[in-house]
Amino acid sequence: MRAQYSSPSGLRAPLFLAAVAVLAAGCQYSGSLDPDSPRYLPPPGSVFHLDRPLPVPAGLAGAEIQSGAVGHGEFAPHCILRLREPVARDTTLAPGDFEITRTVQRTTILPVRWEPGTRIQVAGPAFTLAMGGGGDAGPTDEYYVTEMSLHNPERPEVHRLDCRQLDDPGLGSHVTFREIQATLRPIAWIVPAGTHRP
């Protein structure tokens, strides 16, 4: 059945159809095509390649990677390979390939709690924080997260890859694709759809 369209009153058909085309294009892809842009998103069909065994400690539901090693620092770019459930005992994830089925970007506010009398050094003389007594929420930071859903029918326990960094709310940016690759290698890397495996 062919869909029927009617233009709003007073709007010429060509202009209306052009607006529909622009909206449709925006729905297909909302990111940038430049891998150096924080808005670049690996397209569906890209592959996350885990090249080396990755340890997951008991009680956790994922492993963190930064600068090609296990672990991370909050403010520098880092990635978390997330599982669907916490593991009951120390586990090692075997190498493998996982299709990236969906990529989105989001931000998450992280409240920072300070105790009275906390001394803070910020590129200058230290000062003492007088507010925030009793464990009240103090200044906040924000995680800038690029979230990639993963799929491998033989490895259903692997859920997604989150790559992120912590920065000031509204002033930071998402991790670029090149930064993601740099923090994953040599443990893992991403092969964008339509390119050859390195």
pTM over 0.85: no
Report residue 111 CA to chain centroid gap. Answer: 19
Looking at residue 35, its pLDDT comes to 77
Looking at residue 136, its pLDDT comes to 46
pLDDT (average), residues 15-27: 35
3-state helix, strand, coil in the chain (%, to 5): 15, 40, 45
Question: Residue 81 has which token pair?
Answer: 């390979």
**pLDDT tens digits along 43-53:** 889 999 999 99
Question: Does the pLDDT of residue 30 top 70, yes or no?
Answer: no
Looking at residue 185, its pLDDT comes to 96
**pLDDT tens digits along 102-148:** 999 998 877 665 555 544 444 333 333 333 334 445 557 888 999 99
Strand ranges in 32-118 using DSSP code E only, listed in sequence order: 46-50, 54-56, 62-66, 69-70, 78-83, 91-93, 96-113
**pLDDT tens digits along 143-163:** 899 999 999 999 999 999 999
Looking at residue 116, its pLDDT comes to 53
**pLDDT tens digits along 79-110:** 999 999 999 999 999 999 999 999 999 988 77
182: amino acid identity, one letter: A
Taking the domains of the chain in order of start, what are their residue ranges? 32-191
